[in-house]
Structure 1
Amino acid sequence: MRRFLDRTYDAALWLAALTLALIAVLVLVQILGRLADRAARALALPPPGVTVPSLAEFGAFLFAGAVFLGLAGTLQAGGHVRVKLLTGALPETPARWLAALVCLGGAALGAFATWSSALQALDSLRFGSVSYGTIPIPLVIPQAVMTLGLALLCVALLDAMATLLRGGRPAYATSEIETGGERE
């Protein structure tokens, strides 16, 4: 199960990276199109008119996908900001229980966000909601990606909680130690 979860978190991170790369490609195409138009005008030729319609919407949806798909993997890598004033001052056992409780609370909030996001995606699917740009994008697509990212974050938080309750060290704590973010 551990291997499956780790691969799932890694796959979500790769998808997040892919969406960021896709944003870069779309922006590059738009820039090159503008440069080609300017060069054509300078040479008194008709501009080719290469543009990416709805670039702002595509970019926004892809960026949201990158953020939400990256949540679980970033937690595993110890990349989220955590304030450890209280857990750092407590003895190991109470600190472990408090950290598990915080993970449970985070998972509960994440579950609520996942549920709300899923309801919104289902409504968009049912009503056929689309974006207002030049290219109408079914809103269920970015909303489903957001829901998936939130669900993976819930799983990662429950995973960390279970590891803490079994007496282990969650992946985020191991990553923090390896990068020098926490002392043992």
Structure 2
Amino acid sequence: MRRLLDALYAVGAALAALSLFAIFLVMMAQVAMREMEMQLPAADDISAYLCVATTFFALAATFRRGELIRVGMLIERFGPGARRIAEAVVLVLAAVIMAYVTRWTFSDMLFSYEIEEVAQGTVPIPLWIPKLAMPIGAGLLLVAILDELVTVLRGRKPGYVVAAEERAAAGDFSAEV
């Protein structure tokens, strides 16, 4: 199960990387076409959609690596038992919030599909396509949060804490800034 979940998070990270690379390609095509006195239709819209996709697809992998913003000043002062309870409570709250976000973004994407909503720019892009990244990314983050909740309930340290401790032990404080 661990390998399957890690592969799922890696797929999300790979989709984020592909989205970021696609932004680069759109921008380079736009630059090249400007030199030829042409325009790439909907380049700004496509870049914006890809930016959202990059953000949402990267959420789960970033969370698992302990690189999302996290305020641990209070939790870090607790003893092991109280810290485990606090981590579990926070993870339950995060799971509830992400379940709502996942449901809401899925409903919004489905509504766009049902009414055949299209972008109002120069290219009528069906909006359900770029909106699809949001429920997928939010769902992946929900799975990652539930994964960490199970880890904490089993009495082990969450992966994001382990990852942060490993970085600190190696002298890498880049994610802590």
TM range (shorter): over 0.9
Is 1:148 the counterpart of 2:148? The answer is no
> Offset at 1:144?
1.5
Is 1:54 the counterpart of 2:42? The answer is yes
Question: 1:40-73, CA deviations, whole angstroms, 9 ceiling, x for partnerless residues?
Answer: xxxxxxxxx3x32100100000000000011101
The ranges of structure 1 where at least 4 consecutive aligned residues each deviate by more than 2 angstroms after the TM superposition are none
Task: Report the counterpart of residue 44 of structure 1 in structure 2.
Answer: none
Is 1:101 the counterpart of 2:77? The answer is no
Task: Report the counterpart of residue 29 of structure 1 in structure 2.
Answer: 29
- Structure number with greater Rg is 1
Task: Report the counterpart of residue 167 of structure 1 in structure 2.
Answer: 155
> Offset at 1:85?
1.6
Q: TM-score, normalised by structure 1?
A: 0.89
Which 5+ residue runs of structure 2 have no aligned equivalent? Answer: none
Task: Report the counterpart of residue 15 of structure 2 in structure 1.
Answer: 15
> Offset at 1:134?
1.1
> Offset at 1:35?
2.2
Which amino acid letter does the alignment assign opposite residue 161 of structure 2?
A
> Which protein has greater RCO, CA pairs closer than 8 Å, 6+ apart?
2
Q: Distance in 2 between matches of 1:92 and 1:58?
A: 47
Which amino acid letter does the alignment assign opposite residue 84 of structure 1?
G
> Offset at 1:143?
1.5
Q: Which of the residues 127, 134, 154 maps onto 2:122?
A: 134
Q: Distance in 2 between matches of 1:57 and 1:22?
A: 13
SS of 1:168's equivalent in the other structure is coil
Task: Report the counterpart of residue 76 of structure 1 in structure 2.
Answer: 64
Which 5+ residue runs of structure 1 have no aligned equivalent? Answer: 38-48
> Offset at 1:82?
0.9
Deviates more, 1:59-68 or 1:135-144: 135-144
Question: 1:85-113, CA deviations, whole angstroms, 9 ceiling, x for partnerless residues?
Answer: 22111100110111111011001001001
Task: Report the counterpart of residue 43 of structure 1 in structure 2.
Answer: none
> Offset at 1:36?
3.3
Q: TM-score, normalised by structure 2?
A: 0.92
Aligned length: 170
> Offset at 1:173?
1.0
Identity %: 34
Q: Distance in 1 between matches of 2:3 and 2:26?
A: 34
RMSD of aligned residue pairs (Cα, Å)? 1.3
